[in-house]
Amino acid sequence: MSNIYDALKIENELDIELFEKQAIDLIRSHVGNDNVLLALSGGVDSSVCAALLAKAVPGKLHCIFVDHGLMRKNEGDSIEAAFCDHKLRLVRINAEERFLACLKGITDPEEKRKIIGGEFIRVFEEGVKDLPGDYYLAQGTILADVIESGTKKHKVIKSHHNVGGLPDTMDFKGLVEPLRVLKKCDVRALGRHLGLPAELTERQPFPGPGLAVRCIGEITKDKLDILREADAIFRNELDASGIKADQYFAALTNMHSVGIFNNARTYGYIVALRAVKSKDFITAEYIHIPHDLLMKISERITNEVPNVSRVVYDITNKPPGTVEFE
């Protein structure tokens, strides 16, 4: 089905200023004086969409950020801070305890995904109840989503959007998808033009279920905190090295290993590191990280992160492995 935002089609290279003006004009003529609702995940697409909409309909944009407690270190606070100067209403729903309770005892990765997706929908719907008047639903749909989804019916939300898909029974006036003609590189460029910080515009892919798919076995807050610290060290060191990777992160295996710390025996977790390069994420190759850098990262993690006794580096390509470590 055709979409009015397809009129923003890019013929050759993106003229950011022209696209911004045309998109803002189209958004304003489409939604009028009604409210716009956006599920803000903190990903590149939803963040850039929020910044554009805030400029197009200041004071009319309502963003709901469901913080499921499965984000990376300080990520929730960074997302909130990035939009404090934008003319929008941001509601952050801190639901960590709620999600952890739902995930208690669950070890199967696919079951984790379904539980998180279902709970996200329930939390999101509760947040929508307080929205005044009629509203349009905005999505950070980009060109790749349109291609992957094929033809779309009006008011049907992509199942891969955000976490597990938004409910298809929501009562909204229409869809607002101003980024649907843009490639990912163009979305990043637009975000930079709109003044978003690099930690959002250059953000690497991050799964909707968050660290739940990078924490093997049952999810607990203690395990998540360990993973957050190890992951932050790895990403910071790789960023500082200048080595380019399309996706890179730490995963907490569910295995323990005997180690030595302060001349005493320890029995801590094994942390796995993953870094890959890919053009389309259909296939991926692991990044060759110099051994001296791997040694530095390993020493930092085992010395600075409690309950970690060993660090390993994953050299599996996709296929046969997946990019994620679940």
Provide the b/e sequence for 245-282 (b: ≥16 CB within 10 Å): bbbbbbbbbeeeeebeeeeeebebbbbbbbbbebeeee
Section 92-115 average pLDDT:
94
With beta carbons less than 8 A apart as the criterion, state whether 195 and 215 touch.
no
pLDDT over 60 (residue 146): yes
CA 168 to chain centre: 21
What number does CATH give the domain 214-313?
3.30.300.10
Section 264-269 average pLDDT:
89
% the chain with pLDDT above 90:
64
Q: How many CB atoms lie within 10 A of CB 27?
A: 23
Better-predicted residue by pLDDT, 260 or 27: 27
Cβ within 8 Å of residue 84, ≥6 positions away: none
Nearest residue to 300 via CA among 257, 266, 267, 271? 271
Amino acid 150: pLDDT: 57
Nearest residue to 13 via CA among 173, 171, 189? 189
Domain segments of the chain as ranges: 4-201, 214-313
CA distance 156 to 200: 27
pLDDT tier, 160 (very low <50, low <70, confident <90, very high otherwise): very low
pLDDT over 50 (residue 161): no
Cα end-to-end span (Å), the chain: 36
Amino acid 154: pLDDT: 36
Section 56-77 average pLDDT:
94
CA distance 245 to 235: 10
CA distance 54 to 137: 14
Structure-derived torsion over alpha carbons of residues 16, 18, 20, 24, reported in degrees to the nearest 10: -170
pLDDT over 70 (residue 124): yes
Amino acid 264: pLDDT: 82
pLDDT over 70 (residue 279): yes
Amino acid 167: pLDDT: 60
The mean predicted confidence, pLDDT, of the chain is 89
Structure tokens at 227: 């993973």
Residue 272's H or E segment, with its range, is strand 264-277
Which stretches of 70-123 are assigned E, i.e. beta strand?
89-94
For residue 211, give the DSSP letter: G
Task: Report the range of poorest mean pLDDT among 66-75, 124-133, 162-171.
Answer: 162-171
Section 116-145 average pLDDT:
86
SS3 content of the chain, % helix, strand, coil (to 5): 40, 20, 40
Using alpha carbons only, give the angle 177, 180, 185 rounded to the nearest 5 degrees.
130
Domain 4-201 has CATH 3.40.50.620: yes
